[in-house]
Amino acid sequence: MSDSNSFISHLIELRSRLLKAVLSILVIFVPLAFFAQDLYHLLATPLLNAMPDNSQMIATDVGAPFFAPFKLTLVLAFFLAIPFVLYQIWGFIAPGLYRNEKKLIAPLLLSSTLLFYAGIAFAYFVVFPVIFAFFAGIEISGVAFTTDISSYLAFVLKLFFAFGLAFEIPVAVILMCWAGITDAASLRAKRPYVIVGVFVVGMLLTPPDIISQSLLAVPMWILFEIGILIGALYSPKSDEEEKEEHQEVS
Q: What is the pLDDT of residues 29-38, one digit of tens each?
A: 999 999 999 9
Question: In terms of pLDDT, which residue wins out, 239 or 77?
Answer: 77
Above pLDDT 70, what percent of the chain?
Answer: 89
Question: In terms of pLDDT, which residue wins out, 73 or 9?
Answer: 73
Q: What is the pLDDT of residue 83?
A: 87
Q: Are 231 and 184 within 8 A, CB to CB?
A: yes
* Predicted confidence (pLDDT) at residue 236 exceeds the cutoff of 80: no
Q: What is the pLDDT of residue 72?
A: 94
* Predicted confidence (pLDDT) at residue 237 exceeds the cutoff of 70: no
Q: What is the pLDDT of residue 51?
A: 83
Confidence class of residue 249 from pLDDT cuts 50, 70 and 90?
A: very low
Q: Are 175 and 107 within 8 A, CB to CB?
A: no
Confidence class of residue 162 from pLDDT cuts 50, 70 and 90?
A: confident
Q: What is the pLDDT of residue 214?
A: 82
* Predicted confidence (pLDDT) at residue 246 exceeds the cutoff of 50: no
Q: Are 119 and 167 within 8 A, CB to CB?
A: yes
* Predicted confidence (pLDDT) at residue 139 exceeds the cutoff of 50: yes
Structural domain spans, the chain? 3-167
